[in-house]
Every structure is written in structure tokens, then in C-alpha cells.
Amino acid sequence: MAEELTYRPARSDELAAAARVYVLADNDTDQRLHGRSLDEVPRPDDGEETAARDDLALLHADAPDRVWVALRGDEVVGVAAAAIRERHWHLVYLFVVPEAQGRGIGRELLERIHAVGIAAGCDLFSLQASDDPKALTRYLALGLGPHPPSIDLRAPAPTFPPPRVDDGLESHPLDPDDAAVMATVGDIDRLVRGVRRPQDLRRWLAAGAAGSLLTRRDTGAPAGYYLVSDRGEQGRIGPVAAIDEERFAAVLARALVAAAASPRAGLAWRIDVPGENRGAIAPLFAAGFRPRRLSNVFASAPIGRFDRYAYHDEDLL
């Protein structure tokens, strides 16, 4: 007799098990597709698993139905989770433990988490996918099409550019209590990122990120903004957004200068860049960044003006 499966929004006490599903399934995919040798079963204290628990807790805090689980009895065997920001639904997790794959669990979970986005009024759907043919088939069948991949660039010992005073920009520190500055950054996000996301900006700033709104010195008009964070094992640059494509290099340069001001000497840095943003590559290469991997991007329509944008991360874009 077939095992009975239950699908429902996750409880908070199931998020750790859901994160474990992700680690086991992701390692299995790497083994099947790329032949990566796994010396041991991933440990529960693995940093990747901790990060997954944090991600799932964040999405669950947005709303419990942003994280769904598949259960075999009381055992979590599958997880699907999505971030919803205004009209944009972005799939963050869709994983099934290896021994339960091939039974339609992933398809069922995807249908349910996709329906959450429709019920929330979303009309833009996206995700970053592995190169697993089964997963790609699901996403194409859902109506999502391939877009330029995202690029994960890292620099173990970056050479940051010196500050410039001739870029025509004025800097205004991002302060979550400055309503005017935060509203302007939200307007930039709406134009460039595609949606506003004040809750993300406030959370990143509360966690220690720093950044600036940049305005044009000649007109006072907004030009862009950036965030950098030196917390954790590596620094992270992003989001970086410029209203005009030709000004992205200047906004990025300001972000790199801010990263150089970190007191943590020798810190490695990371930035995630949409494939549309060709102008980011030359200055990042000059600073010592090199690509670590590409991620497949699928979306139902263009998300924003990504030729002048760098993500905060691959989960929340």
C-alpha cells in the first residue's frame, strides 16, 4: 500500500527538519549530476543547514503559508518556500529527500506554494534553479522561462578602488529612522528591482549592514543606493541599484569603497550580479572578484531593470 502523504503549511517546530531536507536533497543532486564525492553525511551543525533554517524562519515569519512541507507520518520529507514582495513571488526552496523522490512530491509542493502567490495577488513569478532536468521540467511546465543566469562573484583578497570626489554624487547614509531617505530608496527599488521591500532593508540595516542613498550633485535627484555588510564569514556587497544604467559603475564604486572601509582586514567578499548587468563585470574584475558559479534564472516575465542592479543574495534578489 502506498505511503500516505500530507501537505500543509509548516509549523515553526518543523523548520529545522525542513532545512535538513534541503541539505540532504541538495547534496544528492550534486552527487547525481556532477559526481561530487561526499565523504560523510552532512552534519546538523553545517553552516549551510544553519543558513537554511534562518531563511525558512524568515519566510515563515512573513506568513506561515510561505513555507509548505510534505509529511510521511510525522517525518518531513519535502519542503517548498517562497518570498513574496508586493506583486513578485520568488521560489526560494523546493526539495524532497532522496529516498522519497520520483513520487510527485515536488510537483505537489510546487503547485501549493505557487497557489499561495496567486492568492496573494502576484503576477510575477521567478526562481533560481539547479540544472536538474526534473526540476527544469517542472518550472517550464509552470510557465516560467529561462532568463540570463545570475553570477556569484567572490574575492578572497580584493583590491578596492580609492575614493573619488569627481563622480558627481552626494552620499546620504541609510538610516531606518529617516523616513524620507527610506522612501526614496523604496522608489529606487520599485523602479530597478521591480518591487519595494522595506522590511528587507530594515532587517539588513538592523543586522549591521551599512549603505547610502546617492543623489546627483548637480540636480539633487536620486541616482541609486547600495548596502554592504561585513558580518559573518565573508562580506557581502548588495543590493546595488542605479536609476540610470550609465551611472551603475559609479554607484558600484561607492559600494566597493564602503567595503574597503571595513575594519575586518583580510575579509573575503561576495557579490551576486544578474546576467543582464554586463557593466558590473569589468570593475569587479579590477577589484579581484572572479566568478564562482552561475545559477539558472527562470521567470514569468522580466523582473526589473537588472542591467543596473546587483542582488543582495540569491534568495531575496
Q: Which residue has the higher pLDDT, 29 or 222?
A: 222
30 pLDDT band, cuts 50/70/90, is confident
Share of the chain above pLDDT 70, in %: 95
**pLDDT band at residue 47 using 50, 70 and 90 as cut-offs:** confident
pLDDT digits (tens, 9 = 90+) for 198-251: 999 999 999 999 999 999 999 999 999 999 999 988 999 999 999 999 999 999
Percent helix / strand / coil, the chain, rounded to 5: 40, 30, 30
pLDDT on residue 203? 96
3-class state of residue 165 by DSSP? coil
Question: Which CATH code for domain 153-295+304-310?
Answer: 3.40.630.30
Question: Cis peptide before 239, with omega less than 30 degrees from 0?
Answer: yes
Q: Which alpha helices (DSSP H) does the chain contain, by range?
A: 15-34, 47-62, 105-119, 133-141, 179-188, 198-206, 248-260, 281-286
Q: What is the pLDDT of residue 165?
A: 81
Three cell numbers written together for 227: 548596502
What average pLDDT score do residues 155-184 get? 94
Residue 194 has pLDDT above 50, yes or no: yes
For residue 62, which phi and psi values (nearest 5 degrees)?
-60, -45
What are 5-14's pLDDT values in tens digits?
A: 999 999 999 9
Average pLDDT value for residue range 286-306:
96
Structural contact between residues 242 and 308, judged by C-beta atoms closer than 8 angstroms: yes
pLDDT for residue 3 is more than 80: no
What's the pLDDT score for residue 164? 84
pTM comes to 0.93
Structural domain boundaries in the chain? 5-143, 153-295+304-310
SS3 200: helix
Topology alike, domains 5-143 and 153-295+304-310: yes
d(CA 16, CA 44): 9
Write down the pLDDT at residue 265. Answer: 87
Mean pLDDT of the region 92-116:
96
How far CA 294 is from CA of 39, 76, 204, 276, in Å, comes to: 25, 30, 25, 13
Decide if 9 contacts 18 (C-beta within 8 A).
Answer: no
* pLDDT of 1 strictly over 50: no
* Residues 77 and 97: beta-carbon distance below 8 Å: yes
Q: What is the DSSP string of 29-46?
A: HHHHHH-----SPPPTT-
Residue showing cell 509542493:
109
Which pLDDT value is given to residue 36? 57
* Between residues 33 and 58, the one the model is more confident about: 58
pLDDT band at 39 (very low <50, low <70, confident <90, very high): very low
Q: What is the pLDDT of residue 40?
A: 47
Q: Which residues pair with 211 in a beta bridge?
A: 227
Calpha distance 126→79 (Å, rounded):
17
pLDDT in tens, 134-149: 889 999 999 999 999 9
Q: What is the pLDDT of residue 141?
A: 94
What are the C-alpha distances in Å from 178 to residues 82, 197, 242? 30, 16, 20
Residue 103 in 3-state DSSP? Answer: coil
Average pLDDT, the chain: 93
Dump pLDDT digits (tens) for 249-281: 999 999 999 999 999 989 999 999 999 999 999
**Cα–Cα distance for residue pair 22/4, rounded to 1 Å:** 21
CA distances to 21, 200, 218 from 203, in Å: 26, 5, 32
Q: Is CATH 3.30.2230.10 what the domain over 5-143 is classified as, yes or no?
A: no
Q: Residue 155 is which amino acid?
A: A
Residue 47 Cα distances to 2, 94, 104, angstroms: 35, 19, 29
- Would strands 88-96 and 75-85 be described as parallel, antiparallel, or unpaired? antiparallel
- Asked if residues 295 and 314 have their Cβ atoms less than 8 Å apart, the reply is yes
Q: Would the pLDDT of 34 be above 80?
A: no
Q: Are 10 and 95 in contact (CB under 8 A)?
A: no
| Range 110-124 average pLDDT | 98
